[in-house]
Amino acid sequence: QVQLVESGEGLVQPGGSLRLSCAASGGSVTINYMQWHRQAPGKERELVASISSGDYTHYGDSVKGRFTISGDSAKNTVYLQMNNLKPEDTAVYYCNMGNLWRSYWGQGTQVTVSS
């Protein structure tokens, strides 16, 4: 059974940086896309960034120029480098990986941006 394990949660001051990681384990699976989503209290879950085969990337408007997604297909691991963090980036961040037939989600990791 494939599981996604996230790490890198934390509390950071505005303007600071944080790096999230998410690794898939527990089974043999072909990963064609890797994504990060987030959900703030009282808000719907939103797509933050995605990377797919061929290293094509996409970012939500609110994080463009500040966040960078990268992936290691050999390790089935995805990273999210977050710079110049703002209080409005506070949320639970979820990684999502999969292919055309299966989608896997991490358990979520808390990111809090506050002075």
pLDDT digits (tens, 9 = 90+) for 19-32: 999 999 887 888 99
Sign (positive/negative) of CA torsion 14, 38, 50, 74? positive
Instruction: Round the average pLDDT of the chain to a whole number and report it.
Output: 95
Of 9, 23, 32, which is closest to residue 93 (Cα–Cα)? 9
pLDDT tens string 62-96? 999 999 999 998 899 999 999 999 999 999 999 99
**Strand 109-113 to 10-12 pairing:** parallel
The CA-atom distances, in angstroms, between 66 and each of 16, 17, 87, 114 are 11, 9, 13, 17
Q: What is the dihedral of CA 72, 103, 25, 1, to 10 degrees?
A: -160
Q: What is the per-residue pLDDT for 7? A: 93
Of 7, 6, 4, 14, which is closest to residue 115 (Cα–Cα)? 14
Q: What is the per-residue pLDDT for 47? A: 98
Q: What is the per-residue pLDDT for 103? A: 95
